[in-house]
Chain A
Amino acid sequence: QSALTQPASVSGSPGQSLTISCSGTSNDVGGYNYLSWYQQHPGKAPKLLIYNVSNRPPGISNRFSGSKSGNTASLTISGLQAEDEADYICSSYTNNDILVFGGGTKLTVL
């Protein structure tokens, strides 16, 4: 099973909104709503931001939102802040009963 496809990097200025995409197939992203997003700061463990496409765990800012259209999921970060600079990784359940991650997107806050 191939990894999900994410842009290698994105950047934005404080206060802006930006969207990170996560592309898969009908065997993973498009076929199930078990789509999660994680934030990982350098040297730290990943942190769950979004699960089941668009649900936020308790304590996660509503600046983070998720959506899906067909085989592509998206994470939108609004009101960009310096602390948002990190790697963002998507994951999806697949029809092979396994879980796959995206390659990760490095977000730079300008």
Chain B
Amino acid sequence: QVQLVQSGSELKRPGASVKISCKTSGYSFREYAMNWVRQAPGQGLEWMGWINTNTGKPTYAQGFTGRFVFSLDTSVSTAYLQISTLETEDTATYYCAREGSPNSFDPWGQGTLVTVSS
């Protein structure tokens, strides 16, 4: 079955970087776009943007430009989210989500909690 398995929780200091992986299986990786969604503790979902898994072209939502980078390794059917110069406000659970039908996400990864604290 289709699965998205994300890397484990991270504890980082402000100013550090983090790279989250989203390993997929059960489908043809290049046929579906991959989206990233952030959920701060106790808050709602926030769309970060998406990456075209065929061309590798990323598109970032407002507020997620500059320090956020989406990338791929198609050889292992894996998407990545890298966040640099971490701030305490980046503390959140980050989800990858396959775009099954246009603008709908199914399934989602299990989420990766990134905690930024000094």
Which residues of A pack against B, CB within 8 Å? 1, 3, 32, 34, 36, 38, 44-48, 51-52, 55, 57, 89, 91-93, 98-104
Q: Which of B23-31, B44-52, B68-76 sits within the interface?
A: B44-52
The complex places the Cα of A55 from the Cα of B106 at a distance, in Å, of: 13
Give the contacting residue for A52; candidates B37, B45, B104, B105; CB below 8 A.
B104
- Flag if A3 contacts B104 (CB, 8 Å): no
Give the residue among B37, B44, B45, B62 with the most A Cβ atoms within 10 A: B45
Q: Which residues of B contact A38 (CB under 8 A)?
A: 45, 105
Asked whether, in the complex, the Cβ of A98 is within 8 Å of the Cβ of B47, the reply is yes
Q: Would A48 and B110 be within 8 Å (CB), given that A101-B47, A103-B44 are in contact?
A: no
Q: A36-B104, A36-B105, A48-B100 are in contact. Are A3 and B44 (CB under 8 A)?
A: yes
Q: State in angstroms the CA–CA spacing of A57 and B100 once bound together.
A: 10
What are 24 inter-chain pairs, A to B, with CB distance below 8 A?
A: A3-B44, A34-B104, A36-B104, A44-B110, A45-B107, A45-B111, A46-B95, A47-B107, A48-B104, A48-B105, A51-B101, A51-B104, A52-B101, A89-B44, A91-B47, A91-B103, A93-B103, A99-B35, A99-B103, A101-B44, A102-B44, A103-B44, A104-B44, A104-B45
Q: A45-B95, A45-B110, A45-B111 are in contact. Are A34 and B45 (CB under 8 A)?
A: no
B45 touches A45 (CB 8 A): no
CB closest chain-A residue, reference B104: A51
B33-75 CB mask vs A (1 if < 8 Å, else 0) is: 0010100000011110000000000000110000000000000
Question: What's the minimum C-beta distance from A6 to chain B, rounded to whole angstroms?
Answer: 9
- Chain A hits for B62, CB < 8 A: 1, 98
